[in-house]
């Protein structure tokens, strides 16, 4: 694989190698990929922890409007209640 870097990036890579932070370019790539993976995991945890959004009953049942359902109470099906 060939990765093209800018002169500024190349200077930073050389500086990291001189200071002993990395031994070679492959190690730099490994560190970058590890950092990316940690960021992805943090983002996944954050989205999983988001509270569920409260919705109203109107929003909940709006998709059922297209079925033209009748929710009227049928008074003839009531039972007599002894008092």
**Mean pLDDT in order along the chain per 10 residues (83 residues):** 89 94 92 93 82 80 76 68 72
- Residue 30 resides in a domain: yes
The pLDDT value recorded for residue 31 is 93
List of residues 6+ apart from 22 with CB closer than 8 A = 13, 16, 28, 31
The pLDDT value recorded for residue 11 is 94
Please give the structure tokens belonging to residue 80. 């007599």
Please give the structure tokens belonging to residue 29. 């790539």
* Digit-coded pLDDT (tens) for 7-17: 999 999 999 99
- Residue 57 resides in a domain: no
- Residue 23 resides in a domain: yes
| Structural domain span for residue 20 | 11-48
The pLDDT value recorded for residue 60 is 81
- Residue 83 resides in a domain: no
Start-end of H helices in the chain = 7-19, 25-48, 57-61
Q: How many domains is the chain partitioned into structurally?
A: 1
Distances from the Cα of 5 to the Cα of 10, 18, 70, angstroms: 6, 18, 66
Q: What is the pTM of this model?
A: 0.52
The pLDDT value recorded for residue 1 is 75
């Amino acid at each position: 694989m060939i990765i093209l870097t800018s002169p500024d990036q190349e200077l930073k890579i050389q500086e990291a190698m001189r200071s002993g932070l990395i031994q070679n370019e492959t190690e730099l790539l490994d560190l970058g990929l590890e950092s990316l993976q940690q960021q992805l995991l943090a983002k996944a945890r954050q989205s999983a922890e988001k509270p569920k959004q409260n919705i109203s009953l109107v929003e909940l049942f709006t998709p059922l409007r297209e079925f033209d359902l009748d929710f009227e109470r049928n008074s003839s099906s009531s039972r007599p209640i002894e008092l």
